[in-house]
Amino acid sequence: MDLELLSQVFDSIKNEDIKLEDMPEYRLYVSQLEEFFDKRLGKGLGDEEERKTISKTMVQNYIKDGLLMPPEGKCYNRSHVVLLTLIYNLKSILAIKDIKKLLAPILKEVDDESNSTDIEYIYDGYLKLKDKSLKRFFNSVTDRHKLVLELPKLENKTEEEWSKIQLMLFVATLVAEANNQKKIAEYIIETFFKG
């Protein structure tokens, strides 16, 4: 893997975020929510329900679990969209119970429309910090990539086999870092967000 390819990967990660200005101001039915998220974030693997980024079942479960306020009638407002986007970003690493603890301070009165400013402030701050963190992480990843390339080559391996070994080691270090960051996040949630 070369640095140009790594740079492209980082650009695609940066461009997958939904900015506040891209979120609808008007109220959406659940089918419109599903369509909005599928268009903005794409679909995953699996059957039709599993492929949806946000599904009706997920939304109902988030409401039942207290992660999301109930809709007004059958419509979801901008605060719903912002919270769903934040939950989507957090759930790839954190368990739903941890997300609920983490978001508890803003979920207390989340169904009050006047709190939408707080929700948007937190999401916008999250995006800004994520962008800065991604830039630092890119530098860290490129340094790690160089270290992997500097490892002495195993003599009995072809270039293709050695290349795969280097990629495996590179991925293993990324997974190790993700695990360490996850443990730190879980510790902070458990210590300071007991609910």
**pLDDT grade for 13, boundaries at 50, 70 and 90:** confident
Residue 45: what pLDDT? 44
* CA 132 to each of CA 103, 114, 138: distance values in angstroms, whole numbers, following the listed order: 22, 29, 10
Q: What is the pLDDT of residues 137-162, one digit of tens each?
A: 999 998 998 999 999 999 899 999 99
Residue 42 reports pLDDT greater than 90: no
Residue 2 reports pLDDT greater than 70: yes
Q: What is the pLDDT of residues 72-129, one digit of tens each?
A: 899 999 999 999 999 999 999 999 999 999 998 888 765 566 668 889 999 999 999 9
Single pTM value for the model: 0.85
Q: How many domains does the chain have?
A: 1
Q: Which domain holds residue 136?
A: 3-192
Highest mean pLDDT out of 11-20, 60-69, 183-192:
183-192
**Cα(69)–Cα(25) distance, rounded to whole angstroms?**
17
